[in-house]
Chains A and B, each alone.
Chain A
Amino acid sequence: MAKEFVARGADLELKQIRKEFPGFTAIDNLDLHVPAGEFFALLGPSGCGKTTTLRLVAGLESPTKGKIFIGGKDITATKPHERPVNTVFQSYALFPHMTVLENVAFGLRQRKVADPLAKAKDALNLVQLSHLADRKPQQLSGGQQQRVALARALVNRPSLLLLDEPLGALDLKLRREMQTELKAIQMEVGLTFLHVTHDQEEAMDMADTVAVMNLGRIEQMGAPETLYDRPKTVFVSKFLGQSNLLVGDVTSTSANSISIDVAGNKISVPKNRAEKHKGKIAIGFRPEKATFSSKKPTATSAKNVIGPGEVLDIRFTGVSNQYLIEVPQLGNITVFAQNMTHFAPIEVGAKVWISWDVENSFGLSDLPAKNVKA
């Protein structure tokens, strides 16, 4: 019966969107393309404009400037009830005066679809809640309410489904369960999902494409692996996972790589993994991609080395340890190392060198805040 809901999602395109509230610009020059049928996640810190973006797409807010297209059609001036879009609200917004079944049938009734109750029941089946059809929303748990909200939106087979942190109110365990379930449902029905979250794990786990949003604009967009492997800005490198950043002037350029000088250390990054090839740039690497040793390793064209530094702190996290190492003039560097033995290989206060593959470095387009002026 799930076939009932299989529909071709449509693609969404936002062009040069700007949204001003009185005295405040929430979104500035936003361009966004969500391909049809994709699970697309919009990820960003609180207040960056994610909800506003969804409200613009749903038509609950109108843009100050710019255009919105769904399936190639300009819907910028269309009223919310005339858009082929449905929303799963952050607070679910289930109608408290209707039963679960009536809630789900609401949209169908509005559009005068034949046999709304039967279709609503099918949708409840899809989210495994048909046994609670006659309850009032207040009589459901948070996770159940979330699934009703999902069914209420899905049943209309919208070209585009908007989800505003639908898992935000759930506890961690339920949240992980629902992530799996949501992803499975999306694959099953084939609709375009635009999912908003500020949980990076959730975004990376579920989405085909992740767009990282900051201060009302998209910083970077791509497959989760790409975003993690090659962040292009300081914000993305810090918001998705952790990063160590080193800043210096470009001193030499070879055919394949560029190098900077950081307090006497030569740090290289492959040319095709650097956003900028000239002047002062920031080069980063992930803590788990680095190793340390108490003897100085030889730097080669394939390996970056810094040090010696002093181990300031060791944090035990189970499978791995997090080592905080202070390297004079470079600042603090974090290294993750798996706990291969039952004792830590070094102690706090030890002198160590840190090394990582040039291949795993990335060059950013901007500089960390404290380095911008220097």
Chain B
Amino acid sequence: MRFSLGKLTLPLYAVLAFIYLLIPIVYTFVFSFNNSLKTNLIWRGFTFDKWTNVCQREGVCEAFGNSVFIGIISTIFATGLGTMIAIALVRYRFKFRSSVNLLLFLPMATPEVVLGAGLASQFFNLGVQKGIWTIIIAHIMFCLSFVVVTVKARVASLDPALEEAGRDLYANPTQVFWKITFPLLLPGIASAALLSFALSFDDFIITNFNAGSDMTFPRYVYTAAARGVPAEANVIGCAVFALAILIVLATQINGEVKRRKLAKVH
């Protein structure tokens, strides 16, 4: 197909594709420096104000704080529960394996509106007041499967002989887990946790069905969208973006450095 059309077509195409992918990000960044008033629709000149005084705008920082809190708590639980399931799935043979796989697959194959409406109905039936904790319950639920997928890959690549070597060298099962299994799974668990946090932090649809009056950052943006989103929201979005990209780049560079070090030895 395309690789028949000259050597430059594909690289050029890739550049265009990346520009396309980056346009809204750049736009959001640029308008985080807009000296805007209430809304942030037209360019009114450059300013650092919105970055230095993010919290001046009512509700932005509170919503952000809620999102971080929800993200952290959900991530801790989803990562813990998901890691346990991942270990069980890879390391043990048991009867209901395929049913368990199906149960984990279904939440990923279910549209968010359905997940959100279902859980909301459940809370409604039980007479549970919606609030931060109902959001957290919802987030743990939809992050769980993603954690399992991520950690599972890591467990599968872990040589069982390492744990056996640990047992052979006088470590009891608990010590084997904490001294060998866990440190070796850690990179997988860490990326699962990051993924889980990112999913939770950015979720709007499920959150919206299960939130009370508490704002999260996406809910704040959604509510503000009708009348115009303030530049401070851009600031938060861009700061989170920058942090995430930094983490990703740091791990990649770290991995590359390690790879080169090894290459030098062999």
A interface list, Cβ under 8 A from B: 58-60, 79-82, 85-87, 89-91, 93-97, 106-107, 110-111, 135, 138-141, 152, 156
Contact = CB atoms under 8 A, between A and B. Distances in A.
Contacts of B168: 58, 60, 80-81, 85-87
Contacts of A138: 262
Nearest to A60: B164
B262 A110 contact: no
Contacts of A94: 165
A18 B183 CA distance: 36
A59 B173 CA distance: 13
Contacts of B58: none
Given A81-B172, A107-B169, A93 B265 contact: no
Given A58-B168, A60-B164, A139-B262, 14 more contacts: A79-B167, A79-B172, A80-B164, A81-B172, A86-B169, A91-B161, A93-B159, A93-B165, A95-B162, A106-B169, A106-B179, A139-B261, A152-B169, A156-B169
Contact of A91 (B159, B170, B171, B183): B159
Given A95-B180, A97-B183, A139-B262, A110 B161 contact: no
Interface in B196-241: none
Contact of B164 (A93, A97, A141, A156): A93
Return the 6 tightest CB-CB contacts between A and B, nearest first.
A107-B169, A110-B170, A93-B165, A93-B161, A80-B167, A139-B265
B184 interface: yes
B122 interface: no
B262 A111 contact: no
A60 B167 contact: yes
**Candidate in A87, A93, A110, A138 with the most chain B CB atoms within 10 angstroms:** A93
Nearest to A110: B170
Nearest to B164: A60
A59, A79, A81, A135, most chain B CB atoms within 10 A? A81
B175 interface: yes
Interface of B: 159, 161-162, 164-172, 175, 179-180, 183-184, 261-262, 265-266
A111 B164 contact: no
Q: Is the interface of B mostly helix, strand, loop or mixed?
A: helix
29 contacts: A58-B168, A60-B164, A79-B172, A80-B164, A81-B169, A81-B171, A81-B172, A86-B168, A87-B164, A89-B164, A91-B159, A93-B159, A93-B161, A93-B162, A93-B164, A94-B165, A95-B180, A96-B162, A96-B184, A97-B184, A106-B169, A106-B179, A107-B169, A110-B171, A139-B261, A139-B262, A139-B265, A140-B265, A156-B169
A44 B265 CA distance: 36
Pick the most buried of B165, B169, B172, B180: most chain A CB atoms within 10 A of its CB: B169
A135 B264 CA distance: 13
Given A79-B172, A81-B172, A95 B167 contact: no
A59 to B, nearest CB: 8
A138 B258 CA distance: 11
B164 A110 contact: no
Nearest to A61: B164
A107 B168 CA distance: 8
Nearest to B264: A139
Contacts of B265: 135, 139-140
Nearest to A91: B161
A205 to B, nearest CB: 26
Contacts of A95: 162, 165-166, 180
Contacts of B262: 138-139
A93 B163 CA distance: 8
Contacts of B170: 81-82, 107, 110-111, 156
Contacts of A60: 164, 167-168
Contact of B161 (A59, A81, A89): A89
A110 B175 contact: yes
A62 to B, nearest CB: 13
Nearest to B175: A110
A141 B265 CA distance: 9
Nearest to B162: A93
A87 B172 CA distance: 16
Contacts of B183: 97
Contacts of A80: 164, 167-168
A94 B175 CA distance: 16
A239 to B, nearest CB: 27
B110 to A, nearest CB: 36
Contacts of B159: 91, 93
A110 B167 CA distance: 10
A90 B168 CA distance: 14
A50 B183 CA distance: 31
Contacts of A59: 167
Contacts of B166: 95, 106
Contacts of A135: 265
A177 to B, nearest CB: 20
Nearest to B180: A95
Contacts of B266: 141
B189 to A, nearest CB: 13
Contacts of B179: 106
Contacts of A140: 265
Contacts of A139: 261-262, 265
A97 B166 CA distance: 13
B172 to A, nearest CB: 5
A58 B170 CA distance: 11
Nearest to B183: A97
